[in-house]
Amino acid sequence: MKINNARTSGFTLVEIMIVVAIIGLLAAIAIPNFVKARTNAQANACIANMKQIDGAKATWALEAKKTNTDTPADTDLFGANAYITRTPACPAGGAYTMTAVNAATTCPNAATLTLHVQP
């Protein structure tokens, strides 16, 4: 009497479908959180850029003996020999416009992106 112990190994269709369903469920949870995290990161980077520009404007006004109502040119703040090496831009798109020293820098996307406002 010969006993056959050979067993074929592999996954059944049901097991594969369960694994695919679990992966789909995890993706459905993770993708919206990723989008939210990216939006928050862009808003934080935009606010940091605006604070950096405001600091550069204050330093420029102090060193150049300007008043609070003076508006610096882009070349006064940005460039190789200026206060900020590269001209910052909003991560969501758009460039910042130069305002007076006493006015806070605003994001060009602040009307549509409510998170891009300095506290």
Taking the domains of the chain in order of start, what are their residue ranges? Answer: 13-119
DSSP assignment of 85-108 equals: SS--B-TTS-BPPP--TTSPP--T
- Model pLDDT, residue 47: 92
C-alpha distances in Å from residue 1, one per residue of 4, 5, 7, 8: 10, 13, 18, 21
Given pLDDT bands bounded at 50, 70 and 90, which one contains residue 52?
very high
At residue 2, does pLDDT exceed 80? no
Mean pLDDT for all residues in the chain: 89
Cβ pair 99, 93 in contact under 8 A: no
Cβ pair 78, 87 in contact under 8 A: yes
**pLDDT tens digit string along 22-46?**
999 999 999 999 999 998 999 999 9
